[in-house]
């Protein structure tokens, strides 16, 4: 996993999954989000979600559950 100070990368998501995972996580758990790939003409938009280190395991489980 990629770590940056006190945050951890949960995963990279498509737009629909990104919004579902953000909705499922508590707002206080999400430390940062970023758009990493954007080609709207090809229908490609990817986002990353970073959370506080102490919330990483919970966020990872939530993301895995939402991706099923």
Task: Tell me the DSSP string of 45-68.
Answer: EEEEEEEEGGGHHHHHHHHHHHH-
pLDDT band at residue 66 using 50, 70 and 90 as cut-offs:
confident
What is the arithmetic mean of pLDDT over 12-41? 84
Domains parsed from the chain with CATH numbers: 3-67 (3.30.70)
Q: How far apart are CA 48 and CA 30, in angstroms?
A: 11
The count of C-alpha atoms lying within 13 angstroms of the C-alpha of 57, restricted to the half-sphere facing its C-beta, is 1
Q: Is the pTM of this model over 0.85?
A: no
| 58 pLDDT above the threshold of 70 | yes
What is the arithmetic mean of pLDDT over 21-26? 87
Number of other residues whose CB lies within 10 A of the CB of residue 21:
23
């Amino acid at each position: 996993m990629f770590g940056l100070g006190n945050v951890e990368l949960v995963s990279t998501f498509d737009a629909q999954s990104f919004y579902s995972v953000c909705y499922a996580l508590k707002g206080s758990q999400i430390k940062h989000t970023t758009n990493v790939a954007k080609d709207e003409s090809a229908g490609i938009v990817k986002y990353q979600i970073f959370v506080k280190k102490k919330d990483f395991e919970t966020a990872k489980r939530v993301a895995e559950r939402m991706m099923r």
